Amino acid sequence: MPGLKEIRKRIASVKSTKQITKAMKMVSAAKFRKAQARIIEMRPYADKMHAVLTGLARTVESGHPLLEVRPRRKVEVIVLTSDKGLCGAFNTNIMKASLKLIKNIQAEGVEVSITAIGKKATDLFRRRGQAARRSWTGISGRISYMNAKEIAADIIENYTNELFDEVVLVYNEFKSALVQKVSVVRLLPLAPVDGHAEQGAAQEEAADFLYEPSQQAIFDQLLPKNLEIQFFRALLESQASEEAARMTSMENATKAADDMIGSLTLQYNKARQAAITKELMDIVGGVEALKQ
């Protein structure tokens, strides 16, 4: 059984850890509120832009490189994680989903290349001996539109040069402070509108449009812009999900520290009581020996 001094040291150590986790929870809570506000403001714009473009894509008079559907010879998988840990299963879920997706694509006889966003994704594929084609780190917590623009420019350039034939993004979609959902989204070629009702509405809306200067010129400007917007949205979704997961993880760690402190305090009191009882018995035994 541990001695009183050892138990006291363990209690002090757990109390120090509790202070750290409690502080991290408060910091994550502040960051989460800001990230949540940004993604809530961003979603309507990103959804509407994507819906309009997917509807208009059916009426475009001539082809556009980003709309071109080619045989799947090579697929680019973009994996979006965080740079830091201590956020529960946030990164683990992304990694599992990414590895499963890559395995399924390769099982179809299709080559896979990887873009890793975040230190955790970069380290994962480096450890597996599957180096990423491109990697971005240092974005977490400092997301700007320029980050999305830089990533989109790289993807557009390589897609139009036919380095790969399809682009798939794996990221955590923010649902609530307690729920983050792993989403797998095909970015290129531009996916059609889901559902017959939405499809019909998009076609009807597109039919009423007048294009100035031209339909093709509008697509040349808006399609790259749409990809930037979708990347920016994914970065914001991931940031909100990361802070929510870290806030929850640190709250659970703080509660676990409280439970451990209670358990160690009980153990300390029992050990102290046993030591006092032993000393009393030694004194009583000594007195009885003197009487004899």
**What does the pLDDT look like over 44-96, one tens digit per residue?**
999 888 887 877 776 665 567 888 888 999 999 999 999 988 898 999 999 99
Longest dimension (CA), the chain: 117
When mean pLDDT is compared across 29-38, 191-200, 201-210, 222-231, the lowest value belongs to 191-200
- Across the range 192-221, mean pLDDT stands at 58
pLDDT: which is higher, 194 or 290:
290
Same-domain status, 226 and 269: no
| Residue 198: predicted pLDDT | 45
pLDDT reported for residue 286: 77
Cα distance between residue 240 and residue 43, in whole Å = 13
CA distances to 24, 30, 87, 238, 265 from 178, in Å: 17, 16, 12, 14, 31
Question: Is residue 144 domain-shared with residue 191, that is, in the same domain?
Answer: yes
Lowest mean pLDDT, pick from 199-208, 216-225, 283-292? 199-208
The rounded mean pLDDT for the chain is: 86
In a domain, 29, yes or no: no
Helices H, strands E: what count in the chain?
6, 5
Q: In 13-22, which positions are buried (b, 16+ CB within 10 angstroms) versus exposed (e)? A: ebeebbeebb
- Which among 78, 87, 187, 188 is annotated as catalytic? 87
Whether residue 19 is found in the same domain as residue 78: no
What is the model's pLDDT at position 1? 59
Cα separation, 196 vs 275, in Å, equals 78
**pLDDT tens, 127-152?**
988 889 999 998 888 899 999 999 99
Q: Is residue 290 part of a domain?
A: no
* Domain span holding position 256: 4-24+252-285
Residue 30 is assigned to a structural domain of this protein: no
In a shared domain, residues 149 and 265:
no
User: Which are the contacts of 124, defined by CB distance < 8 A and separation ≥ 6?
Assistant: 79, 81, 95, 116
Q: Do 150 and 278 fall within a single domain?
A: no
Number of folded domains that form the chain: 2
pLDDT at 121: 93
Residue 291 lies in a domain: no
**169 lies in the same domain as 215:** yes
Residue 87 is among the residues annotated as catalytic for this protein: yes
Q: Dihedral through CA 62, CA 150, CA 93, CA 47, nearest 10?
A: -50
Question: Do 60 and 190 belong together in one domain?
Answer: yes
Tokens describing residue 6 = 């050892």
